Structure 1
């Protein structure tokens, strides 16, 4: 189950994206911080483990294009909270035990206007891939233009309708 809402944040906006996962927080946490696991589901790669505060480079991947971004892990409280910058954006990952699984809440705060539905669609595909990774399936991250082959445009349109009421 996925829920997504937009919350005003001053001159910025925050996407609150919630996904129920079937694994407990202790099994989800490594997928959020380990560079090898991130590379299999996230829109970026990491040059180090995100489990400790400090500088990190997150590299956006789109086919052969790579865009490194200097970022900072602001908080890492295993297995419940990870907060880091991503360029000018702020990502806050909250893991809460929910039955035998995890309620994953991503709060993605961005200053760029007009991309809210695109961001939600991207995280939706990433969360689908994360769920399959946690289930032990062989997966490859769905990034950039490749997302169009996996229903990204339909998701973007659906989120756009949801966000505009």
Structure 2
């Protein structure tokens, strides 16, 4: 299911949801432990896991972009800057696992926005697959499929 993209007073919000049959602790590990984080988003690494701490994005050219952690509640909330935007993960325990919510607070829509949205979509699918011990045959093919849909979704909102 596509993210729900809404216009707000501050810009736009994209909200992704995934029902997972895994504990918040298991999912949290994929968001915050570098060895697990690398399995679904190899360019990211947690540098200092605390509010005010940082996550680093490897630009693949020898440089790193530092993203500030703006909110942190263990097993519940991880929020950090993403360029001019914010990315927020929320975990909600449920009887048979948890609900993972990813919100991206987008300052302005650009030609790159559908790329990011498709990327987050696939990342969440990969987390679910890793937790379920199954594989996604081609992340690139999945991304291409979702990218086209996010291009259309962003056009209808812009």
Coarse TM-score class (shorter-chain normalised): 0.7 to 0.9
User: CA separation in 2, counterparts of 1:137 and 1:54?
Assistant: 35
Residues 131 and 67 of structure 1, relative CA distance in 2, 3 Å threshold: farther
Taking structure 1 as the reference length, the TM-score comes to 0.78
Q: Unpaired runs of 5+ in structure 1?
A: none
The number of residue pairs the alignment matches comes to 154
Q: What are the Cα deviations for residues 110-131 of structure 1, in whole angstroms up to 9, with x where unaligned?
A: 2242333322211111112111
Offset at residue 3 of structure 1 (A): 4.5
Pairing 1:72-91 to 2, within 5 Å after superposition = 72-91=68-87
3-state SS, counterpart of residue 103 of structure 1: strand
TM-superposed CA distance for 1:93, in Å, is: 0.7
Match of 1:55 in 2: 53
Q: Distance in 2 between matches of 1:160 and 1:77?
A: 33
Gap runs ≥5 in structure 2:
none
**Pick aligned residue for 1:150 from 131, 141, 157:** 141
Distance 2:145 2:88 in 1: 26
Query: Whole-Å Cα distance in 1 between the matches of residues 89 and 15 of structure 2?
Result: 10
Deviations 1:106-164 (A, max 9, x none): 1111224233332221111111211122224588xx8xxxx5x3232221112333452
CA RMSD of aligned residues (A): 2.6
In structure 2, do the counterparts of structure 1 residues 133 and 65 end up closer, same or farther at CA, with 3 Å as the change threshold? farther
What pairs up with 1:117-136 in 2 under 5 angstroms? 117-136=114-133
